[in-house]
Amino acid sequence: SYEVTQPPSVSVSPGQTASISCSGDDLGDKYTCWYQHKPGQSPVLVIYQDTKRPSGIPERFSGSNSGNTATLTISGTQTMDEADYYCQAWDSGTVVFGGGTKLTVL
């Protein structure tokens, strides 16, 4: 079965740029999404179709996908962005989540 891999943790200083990677075989040929998940809350879609932001998501969130790697980039990271982030892809009609990356802003 298809798998996507994320780093367990990423740290960033406030105001700096955070990049979270998601790797999988020929991932660039598939659409990816990214979700932000804070404790006690439901996940929030922040990027879909590799690069698109849903209404209400700040412009500092952006995405890219090429080759074997998709990347979520948060520019000017704020303390409120501290959360777990999950990438998600499709494979033959099934949904595949990455293991999640804990983003620490300090």
Binding of another protein at residue 86 (CB under 8 A)?
Answer: yes
Neighbouring CB atoms inside 10 A of 33's CB total 23
Residue 11 and residue 25: Cα distance in Å, rounded?
26
Binding of another protein at residue 39 (CB under 8 A)?
Answer: no
Nearest to 46 by CA among 36, 32, 38: 36
Binding of another protein at residue 48 (CB under 8 A)?
Answer: yes
Piece of the chain touching another protein by CB under 8 A; list 18-26, 42-50, 64-72, 74-82: 42-50
Q: Is 29 helix (H, G, I), strand (E, B) or coil?
A: helix
Instruction: Answer yes or no: are the C-beta atoms of 41 and 25 closer than 8 Å.
Output: no
**Binding another protein by CB under 8 A: which of 1, 39, 59, 106?**
1
Cβ of residue 11: shortest distance to another protein, in angstroms?
19
Binding interface with another protein (CB under 8 A): 1, 31, 33, 35, 37, 42-45, 47-49, 54, 84, 86, 88, 90, 93-100
